[in-house]
Structure 1
Amino acid sequence: MADNEQTDTTVTGPDDVPAMNDLDRKVTGEFSGYTVRKDLVGKVKGNALVPSYVLEYLLGKYVTTTDWESVRAGVERVRAILADNYVHREEANLIQSKIREKGRYQVIDKVQVTLNEKLDQYEATFENLGISRVVVDSATVKKNPKLLVTGIWCMCTLVYAYSGDPKDVPWRLHRLMPVQMSHDDRENYLAMRSRFTAGEWVDLLMQSVGFEPALFFERAKLLHLVRMIPFVERNYNLIELGPKGTGKSHIYSEFSPHGMLISGGEVTAAKLFVNNSSGQIGLVGYWDTVAFDEFAGKTKKADRALVDIMKNYMANKSFSRGRNTMQAEASMAFIGNTSHNVPYMLKNTDLFEELPKQYHDPAFLDRIHYYVPGWEFEQIRSEMFTSGYGFVVDYLAEILHNLRDVDYASKYEKYFALSPTLSTRDKDGVRKTFSGLMKLIYPSGEATMEEMEPLLRCAIEGRKRVKDQLCRIDSTMTEVDFSYTRAGSPDPIAVHTVEEDDYPDLYWRGRSVSAGSVGNDAVKQPAPPVPAAGSSSGSGSSQPTKPSEPAKPMESAKPALSRIERAAAAAKAGHLDFSEGRSGVSYNRLFGAYVAGAKRITLQDPYIRYSYQARNLAEFLETVYDYTNRADEVQVHLIVGQADDQLIDQQIDNLDQLKTTFGPMGIILTYEFSTTAHDRFIVTDTGWRISLGRGLDIYQRYDDKNWLNPQLRRQNLRQIKEFSVDYRHVGE
């Protein structure tokens, strides 16, 4: 059977129960008791504002079977527990009353503990329940030190005992159980891993974090795993910048009870490192991963002293605030949104451009081990979430927590050697990323040369993206050769970032093209063998090269006109009439030459209200994309009539979806509603005004439900309505 053929081995369950595939059956068989069907989280969550790992903790206790009736019964049990025990803030008084009337009651809440020095006792505050000063015994605090930092989610049994003393707190903590696994099951985990192929294991990890692996290519899967490295690798520094809505913060907020997600603007040196007044260590001393959400933003300000402490910690794993030097093991993840697409950033600034000034600092950025290209992730859609089986997340999180003790950084050295030009920090970044990926995909540390190579290339690419941008920011930074050699071969293999190959002229703007770098039309040598995991996509292109070979100077010649310039030169003023029923007419033919090279376009069309009209707009934006420079952002402003009450929500959803879809491509769509707009026209900043008799709605109805119909993709195959177009250039 061919590699790309698959047999249908799904088993259909009753009613609305999703079918189980081979992987689901294997997972539930080998890891019985540690897996859960991932779509159940959404079914039980309701309006409970709790992390997924809290819900999966409960599901892992009551829904670990594949028997459909047992699953339904377990889900109902978990729903009942949430309904009875989870504390909603608006129901805090009701729960307090239940505790008083029953004398004893179990709650699910986030609990934080402080030391009351005057009374020499620990006291807990229950976030949603709204009570505080609940006495906690020292043994509980010693067993769960994170209670003293930002608090943790717990299942607690509270007792109400009023003593008559108005100074006394009537609440008594009878029992506290953190919502997380308490033992190390690593031995069983490694034994079970040996029964899966690498490809199956990667898919299992994808399902465990909630995504449907069948909808992701191998490179995307590997980048998703890179997001997990801070949980399995000590003192790992990662940054991800990209468009909104790609799930950057999801894994740090929902995946692990060992991770803490905080707003980038809310952290202080005392909270993050050590409080000089109390001497209490901050977040880095208690959490495996501290993730900074909304880290980007040029206008944001950061405490310079905090940045300096962070730089020292990220480089040396230690910090000091004027007293003793302390060490910690927390990894750091910096995540934020970009305002521009990749070619725009490469042309005008750098890929770190969105960072606040204090962090847009070579000394800080050089401590980053990996730059995750957030622009490569798709916008999260509902169908991307899996209904298959994966690990209960607190089980997997505990395994990864314990694997932090293992170091696989040197495992590749018997097969590969890094370029000697790499700096110590470059090598550290590559080694730590490689170690993290090994622990995720090959947790035993055993892998073949062919299996290791894609992971090494992925590790090199992420650090290369950091270093190449540093060379833009700091002219004194020395460029190095990001290549490696295979054992027994003298030929270096260069690793490129994807954006380097996609936009070579912009990537190396102002510098000579690096040795081994290639353009879009270059002939690439075959990539190294791909392992079963499908991790070949861990880097951009790779090819044998001689790093020391100087770049050949370009021959002086008159530059030829670009395709866009040629198209713009073909635009002519005039009038066109089109008769009913003809075909061969496309937006590219009608508008391409006239929008070519534009940076600002105004489209007025009062009738973009129905979904098919929104599709017309999408196809117009595709024409704009095809005929404008990708290194320049294009502003497209739509003036449109507002739909009636029955359609307005759908109209706004469609327009917002187009904004989200085309924004990362450099087409910035804005829109306004007008009650007086009647004429239909296009105006460009290059001087063209196009009067549209019918606006964009020029095509007759066709079968748009059949995705095999070529008319969906080829406008020139559709029949048109009768319409006319006038082209006029300002000043003519």
Structure 2
Amino acid sequence: MSDHIDLTEAALIEQTPDEGPADAVAEPTMLDRKINARFPGAVVRKDLVKAVKGNAIVPSYVLEYLLGQFAATDDEATIQEGIEKVRRILAEHYVHRNESELVKSKIREKGRFRVIDRVSVALNAKDDLYEASFANLGIRGVVIDPGTATSNPKLLVSEVWCLCDIEYFHSDDPRTVPWILGSLKPIQMSNFDYHGYLDARQAFTTDEWIDLLIQSIGFNPEMFGRRAKLLQLTRLVPFVERNYNLVELGPKGTGKSHIYSEFSPHGMLISGGEITVPKLFVNNANGKIGLVGYWDVVAFDEFAGKKKRTDKALVDIMKNYMANKSFSRGVRPESAEASMVFVGNTSHTVPYMLKHSDLFDELPESYHDPAYLDRLHFYIPGWEVDTIRGEMFSSGYGFVVDYIAEVLKSMRNLDYSDRYQRYFTLGSDISTRDRDGIHKTFSGLMKLLYPHEQATAEEIEEILRFAIEGRKRVKDQILRLDDTMAAVKFGYQSLGGEWTAVTTLEEDEYPRHYHRGRPGAASDDQEPVDLVGPTTGAVGSEAPVVSAPVKEELFQGHRDFVENQRGISFDTLFMPYLRGATEIELHDPYIRMSHQGRNLVELLALIASAKDPADEVTFKLFTGLEVDPGYQIKQLQMLNQIVQGAAQQGIKVEVGKDPGGHDRWIRTDSGWRINLGRGLDIFQKQEGGWFDFGSTRQEFRQVRAFGVTYIREVE
């Protein structure tokens, strides 16, 4: 084998496989430095929130507001000084409920003291006064200036975190409250430079900008694929789009409600079981507008639950509001622009729901209604979102939450919904309501990713397709509930006339269950038909690919697989083409890291189990070497172990240097060439250890986006 790689020297080095060069002290990445340079004073290192929070039960945006005042820099000394200052502020001024009497004493003894607390305001009509209440401090009836109350209307409908100076003055009049409000400042930015934001955006590539947004919501972008990032960012669309209706249902622990409780001072998270018509819309007793009149986003947590009791009047008013942006309780119609978000947990797998009911199966009965569901603009498939783990949080730089919250709020006045029309048109049979849902999602994602409106046709196509998929997921489930509703061909057409159909990921993974009840669909009790080689549809877990003795029947051509798809394995992708070969050649320049070595071992194990134990197979691997000497030693040791292990199973592995380039392919002496877009590295990172089912079976893992082309070279 030319350019043979000698593994014997590496095998003699005493170093365990998991050892490597010592990690250097973490330095800001190139992206972090760029972020700080372009947005000075508006970004903060995201791991600092944990460093300062302690036992203060405050949202992240409160902590980041303080960090933005004292630690919005990449200078380590200034950061540490800022952290200590924020810690002192929290320690001295944040009011714990169990220390309220101590704080009251400080106010009395000092005459004036600053507190961080949740404040609400109500009008005392009898005395014609606005009065403030402090939740943790436990004081009420504090007179507040009318101008302060009217300039901060959210104080009149719910509690808002504020920095307040409170004074104490005792009076002999028992009706006089001794507490006096010296100053009140809601924890939010007073102004920002929007044009500066747009100018700075132009300095970032699309990938860099997406990573900046992901870091801004607190996550490490390296732990997410492109589709997973878009799913996370879709949670922000309600903040940037007026009257946007979003639903996310999925397993527990995926961070569904985090953004609505921690990310923005303009969002309100409430329990789905605690809301009432007066609180949400209007109180007929006093004519006071509810939450939808004052908040940009109203999110319902724990919304799922079949047996939850619901108020029929609330459902009816909500349906009208979601469709028409208005509501009425018999007095006069009112309008509002709050977006509605519904998040809840599922208790069954996706194929189970598709087989026995629908993807809205967990909703309360009153909401499991086509009229309500048709108002939803996008369905985030929560089952695709990873369970939140410690290593997923970012230590990089992101926008101070309050800064980006104000940016998003300012863009609610803009409409980017037609920006795709210079390249594409939607399918002609897409209904007005479907079109509205697609447009709103597309507009929101455009504002988030391309606020400067400089996007290529390919970038626009990506988010248009994503927006269509989210609305299609809603519509396809409605069709299960209402068979009088006409099916829709979801897709788009280029101006050149090329039509692209859009499918949902679960439709590709479980076509038999997804199309249950449709004309021509297989019945639920009908066994799936075995397929020979990858089909023109997605390779799914319910229709496994098996080999066949007639090689001519094996699929030839190209197949793309989308990010987060399951049901994919080397057995279904490669083995029908590798069986019977006595010499197999793999070109993959990136067999370097331990997970890449594991992929190679899993392929070799399949080859070993498929052949006769008495036969031998030669496997020629062409790969590249790590540049760093320490990592190269680790790589060579790994390859040496693989070679020795394969030899025991009758597979002779020869390792040679890849001739260069990024092309990856497999070739067999039986006449097949398989071009690999990502080589063997198609699976997303697994973190569950041996207790994760994906550690045992590849088809339980989610994949990255990749393509495979099968070419018959010898007839």
1:79 partnered with 2:87: yes
**Aligned match of 2:316:** 308
The residue that corresponds to 1:416 in the other structure is 424
**What SS does the aligned partner of 1:74 have?**
helix
Contact 1:222 1:537 in 2 (8 A): no
- Residue 511 (structure 1) aligned to one of 493, 504, 518: 518
**1:24 paired residue number:** 32
- AA at the equivalent of 1:224: Q
1:250 to 2:269 alignment:
no
Asked if 1:493 is matched to 2:483, the reply is no
| Structure number with higher relative contact order (C-alpha < 8 Å, ≥ 6 residues apart) | 2
**Please, which runs of 5 or more residues in structure 1 have no aligned partner?**
1-14, 529-535, 541-583, 590-653, 668-732
Where do 1:62-73 residues align within 5 Å? Answer: 62-73=70-81
Establish whether residue 370 from structure 1 lines up as the match of residue 378 from structure 2. yes
User: For 2:340, which of 332, 336, 344 is the aligned residue?
Assistant: 332
Aligned 8 A contact 1:136 1:173 in 2:
yes
Name the CA distance, whole Å, in 2 between partners of 1:230 and 1:183.
21
Write the letter of the residue equivalent to 1:518: G
Q: Name 2:532's counterpart in structure 1.
A: none
Give the alignment of 1:683-698 within 5 angstroms.
none
Q: Write the letter of the residue equivalent to 1:251.
A: I
State the TM-score, normalizing by the size of structure 1. 0.70
Deviations 1:355-413 (A, max 9, x none): 00000000000000000000001110000000000000000000000000100011111
Match of 2:61 among 50, 53, 72: 53
- State the partner residue of 1:695: none
1:166, CA displacement in angstroms? 1.4
Q: 1:357 to 1:655 in 2, by over 3 A?
A: farther
Q: For the Cα contact (< 8 Å) 1:222–1:538, is it kept in 2?
A: no
Closer, same or farther: CA 175–457 of 1 in aligned 2, 3 Å:
same
- For 2:337 and 2:208, the matched residues in 1 are separated by 31
Residue identity opposite 1:488 in structure 2: G
Partner of 2:200: 192
Correspondences of 1:659-698 after superposition (within 5 Å) = none
CA contact (8 A) 1:454 1:539 kept: no
How much does 1:177 deviate? 0.5
Contact kept in structure 2, 1:497 and 1:539, CA below 8 Å: no
Q: CA separation in 2, counterparts of 1:152 and 1:272?
A: 17
Q: 2:166 aligns with which of 158, 178, 182?
A: 158
Counterpart code for 2:241: E
Give the aligned residue type for 1:511: R
* TM-score, L = length of structure 2: 0.72
Q: 1:244 to 1:84 in 2, by over 3 A?
A: same
Q: In structure 2, give the amino acid aligned to 1:370.
A: F
Question: Residues 657 and 196 from structure 1, CA distance in 2 versus in 1: closer, same or farther, beyond 3 angstroms?
Answer: same
Which one of the candidate residues 220, 226, 241 is aligned to 1:233?
241
Query: Is 1:402 aligned with 2:410?
Result: yes
How far has the Cα of 1:186 moved from its partner? 1.0
Following superposition, the deviation at residue 446 of structure 1 comes to 3.1
CA shift in 2, pair 1:62/1:425, >3 Å: same
Amino acid at match of 2:100: A
**2:133 corresponding residue in structure 1:** 125
Match runs of 1:513-528 below 5 Å: 518-520=537-539
Out of 438, 460, 468, the residue aligned to residue 452 of structure 1 is 460
Equivalent AA in structure 1 for residue 518 of structure 2: R
Structure 2 CA distance for aligned equivalents of residues 418 and 35 of structure 1: 38
Relative to structure 1, is the Cα distance of residues 191 and 655 closer, same or farther in structure 2, using a 3 angstrom cutoff? closer
- What residue is the counterpart of 1:217 in the other structure? 225
Change (3 A) 1:27 1:417: same
Q: Which residue of 2 aligns with 1:95?
A: 103
AA aligned opposite 1:503? Y
Query: Cα offset for 1:518?
Result: 3.4
Q: Matched residues, percent identical?
A: 59
CA distance in 2, matches of 1:517, 1:123: 67
Aligned to 1:106: 114
Q: Distance in 1 between matches of 2:468 and 2:184?
A: 45
**Structure 2 residue matching 1:475: 3-state secondary structure:** coil
* Gap change, CA 1:470 and 1:656, over 3 Å in 2: farther
Q: What is the CA-CA distance between 1:266 and the residue it aligns to? A: 0.6
- Checking the alignment, whether the CA contact within 8 Å between 2:509 and 2:565 is kept in structure 1 is no
Give the drift of 1:526. 7.3
| Native 8 Å contact 2:384 2:564 kept in 1 | no
Q: Distance in 2 between matches of 1:166 and 1:253?
A: 39
> Helix, strand or coil for the counterpart of 2:288?
coil
Residue 411 of structure 1 aligns to a residue in which SS? coil
Q: Per-residue deviation at 1:18?
A: 3.3
Give the letter aligned to residue 466 of structure 1: V
Distance 1:241 1:118, change over 3 A: same
In 1, the alpha carbon distance for the partners of 2:410 and 2:565 equals: 28
Match of 2:707 in 1: none
Q: Does 203-212 or 159-168 show the bigger shift?
A: 159-168
> Structure 2: where are the runs of 5+ without partners?
1-22, 522-534, 540-544, 546-554, 567-603, 610-687, 702-715
- Tell me by how many angstroms 1:170 deviates: 0.2
SS in 2 for 1:380: coil
Query: Counterpart in 2 of 1:705?
Result: none
- Assess, with a 3 A threshold, how the Cα gap between structure 1 residues 328 and 659 changes in structure 2: closer, same or farther: farther
CA contact (8 A) 1:210 1:385 kept: yes
Residue 149 of structure 1 contacts residue 282 of structure 1 at CA under 8 Å; is this kept in 2? yes
Match of residue 387 from structure 1: 395
Secondary structure of the residue that 2:95 maps to in structure 1?
coil
Alpha-carbon shift at residue 655 of structure 1 (Å): 12
Change (3 A) 1:202 1:473: same
Residue 98 of structure 1 deviates from its aligned partner by: 0.3
User: Matches of 1:52 and 1:505 in 2, distance apart?
Assistant: 44
Task: Give the superposition deviation at 1:510.
Answer: 1.6
Tell me the equivalent position of 1:557.
none
Q: 1:286 to 1:28 in 2, by over 3 A?
A: same
Q: Secondary structure at the match of 1:333?
A: strand
Cα deviation, residue 431, structure 1: 0.4
Helix, strand or coil at the partner of 1:421? coil
Q: Is the 8 A contact 1:501 1:517 kept in 2?
A: no
Q: Would you say the 8 A contact 2:536–2:559 is kept in 1?
A: no
- What CA distance in whole angstroms lies between the structure 2 residues aligned with 1:507 and 1:352? 13
CA-CA distance at 1:142 after TM superposition: 1.2
> 2:274 matched to 1:263?
no
Contact map agreement 2:693 2:700 (CA 8 A) in 1: no
RMSD of the TM alignment (CA)?
2.8
Superposition map of 1:32-51 within 5 A: 32-51=40-59
What SS is found at the alignment partner of 1:471?
helix
The answer as to 2:447 corresponding to 1:428 is no
Pick which of 178-187 and 375-384 moved more: 178-187
Distance in 1 of aligned mates of 2:78 and 2:426: 53
- Over 3 Å counting, the alpha-carbon distance change for 1:123 and 1:58 in structure 2 is same
Deviation per residue, 1:467-490 (Å, 9 max, x gap)? 00000111111110001101112x
Aligned pairs, how many? 534
Which of 261, 275, 288 is residue 280 of structure 1 equivalent to? 288
